[in-house]
Amino acid sequence: MSIPTRVKLVDVGPRDGLQNEKQPVPAAIKIELVQRLQDAGLTEIEVTSFVSPKWVPQMADNAEVMAGLQRKAGVRYSVLTPNLQGFEAALKSKPDEIVVFGAASEAFSQKNINCSIAESIERFAPVVQAARAAGIYVRGAMSCTVGCPYEGEIAPERVSYLAGLMKGIGVQHVGVADTIGVGTPLKVQRAMEATLKHYDINDVSGHFHDTYGQALANTLICLQMGVWQFDTSVAGLGGCPYAKGATGNVASEDVVYLLHGMGIETGIDLDKLVDAGKFISDFLERKPNSRAATALLNKRVA
């Protein structure tokens, strides 16, 4: 398999990034962040989640954020929907894509969505069916594919098992997530290979949190396997409320720098992306959690 010449990034910053923030982020700021990401050339943005506001208060403004978007042709807006209740609420916001989210670890499934893996699949099945009937693309997120905060290391067989269940209910694409960022390249490769037993290379993506600083290396090994779709988060925002200590996704800016440096096209304007990351980081009163953004911002000052 040769390295792809073009890569699609899904910026998950507005969702995965902001879901974990303690201070409230107004809907208007989230809407402006999405606007800046689409202006920077992102063609897919994970905007919000239709989950319980008691569980994740930061996403309670889901409908307001979706209603405020100035949608751009060619951009896909995705949202998380864990069950039919979430899907029905999301439908009114006309997402282009929905995401059901399961886990390769039983304990994480319980903590994150309050049910077992088998029960989660039972809940997702009618969501997938309804979404596909409505012409909405269905992605599945698979958490804890290399390690779990409660169970430790996760065997590739469990990833394969989950991918098979997702395929069985009609999920069209799956993301292989290293939720707590403990993966290293060979472990991530094995999780990806386990997924590829059930899904085509064109229907998988990588979703790597960068807790241990391994996410770029994990991205590179997936590129070498021919994977061409990745979730990244502007300014490296994020984490999961049910994965304590895990930091954000790999920064979009760092991945774009890597890809452009390798001559791989993304359609993204790195300078505008850095501006988007600076915008949200200024609001959150911190520096962007991205080495490439920091270097480029320092260079501007110099």
At a CB cut-off of 8 Å and minimum separation 6, what does 76 contact?
Answer: 43, 44, 45, 96, 97, 137
Report whether 227 contacts 192 (CB < 8 A).
yes
Smallest distance from ligand HMG to CB 295, Å: 26
Q: Give the nearer residue to ligand HMG in terms of CB position, either 190 or 278.
A: 190
- Tell whether residue 178 is a contact of Mg ion (CB under 5 A): no
Q: How many CA atoms lie within 13 A of 35 on its CB side?
A: 12
Q: How far apart are CA 258 and CA 81, in angstroms?
A: 31
Q: How far apart are CA 65 and CA 51, in angstroms?
A: 14
Report whether 226 contacts 5 (CB < 8 A).
no
Report whether 97 contacts 136 (CB < 8 A).
yes
Q: Give the nearer residue to ligand HMG in terms of CB position, either 52 or 189.
A: 52
Smallest distance from Mg ion to CB 204, Å: 16
How would you class 263 by CB atoms within 10 Å of its CB: exposed for 0-12, middle for 13-18, buried for 19 or more? exposed
- Tell whether residue 16 is a contact of Mg ion (CB under 5 A): yes
Annotated catalytic residue within 144, 148, 222, 240: 240
Q: Which stretch binds Mg ion (CB under 5 A): 12-20, 74-82, 105-113, 118-126?
A: 12-20
Smallest distance from ligand HMG to CB 219, Å: 14
Active site residue 240: yes
Q: Tokens 């694409």 appear where?
A: 173
- Residue number of the CB closest to Mg ion reads 16
Report whether 78 contacts 96 (CB < 8 A).
yes
Q: Which stretch binds Mg ion (CB under 5 A): 9-17, 20-28, 146-154, 220-228?
A: 9-17
3-class secondary structure, 34: helix
Q: Tokens 């269940």 appear where?
A: 165
Q: Which does 69 bind (CB under 5 to 8 A by kind): ligand HMG, Mg ion, none?
A: none
- Tell whether residue 253 is a contact of Mg ion (CB under 5 A): no
Smallest distance from ligand HMG to CB 161, Å: 16
- Over its C-alpha atoms, the chain yields an Rg (Å, rounded) of 17
Q: How far is CA 176 from the centre of its chain?
A: 10
Applying CB under 6 A, the residues found at the interface with ligand HMG are 16, 19, 49-52, 55-56, 80, 82-83, 85-86, 101, 112-114, 141, 143, 177, 179, 207, 209, 240, 242
Q: Which does 56 bind (CB under 5 to 8 A by kind): ligand HMG, Mg ion, none?
A: ligand HMG
- Residue number of the CB closest to ligand HMG reads 86
Q: Give the nearer residue to ligand HMG in terms of CB position, either 241 or 267.
A: 241
Q: Which does 174 bind (CB under 5 to 8 A by kind): ligand HMG, Mg ion, none?
A: none
- Bridge partners of 45? 11, 77
Which residues are catalytically annotated?
240
Contact residues: Mg ion, CB under 5 A? 16
